[in-house]
Amino acid sequence: MQDRANIWNTAKLTMAMAAVAGFLAFPPVQVRAEDSCQRETAKIDHNLHDAIAHHGPESKEAAHWRSELAAQRDRCWKAEHKWWDEDTHRWHTDRDWDEHDHDH
């Protein structure tokens, strides 16, 4: 009976060690800053378009989201030295965004 308990305990310990080794060998995939920049920029850009459509380009809501978009582009620029343009669906490698590009 004691032998079966030892075998069972050894098997459980081996499985636990294999699980830990698996987690160490294959850590969870982290979201890259580039993906985060693109996703957040798209959300903010969408909110800006909604604000313009519902309240007008000169509204305080549009001004708020325009400011958020400029701040997001700046964060992406600082992190990745590029920024995402949701309207053209491409990355820009120059710090050349126009804070009023949604006014027209």
pLDDT, tens digit, 9 for 90 and up, residues 34-75: 688 999 999 999 999 999 999 999 999 999 999 999 999 999
Is the CB of residue 79 less than 8 Å from the CB of residue 40? no
**Using CA atoms, how far apart are residues 11 and 96, in angstroms rounded to an integer?**
61
User: Is the pLDDT at 86 greater than 80, yes or no?
Assistant: yes
Alpha-carbon distance of 100 to 66, in angstroms, equals 7
The model's pLDDT over 24-34, given as tens digits with 9 standing for 90+, comes to 676 655 456 66
Every domain of the chain and the residues it spans: 33-92
What pLDDT score was predicted for residue 17?
72
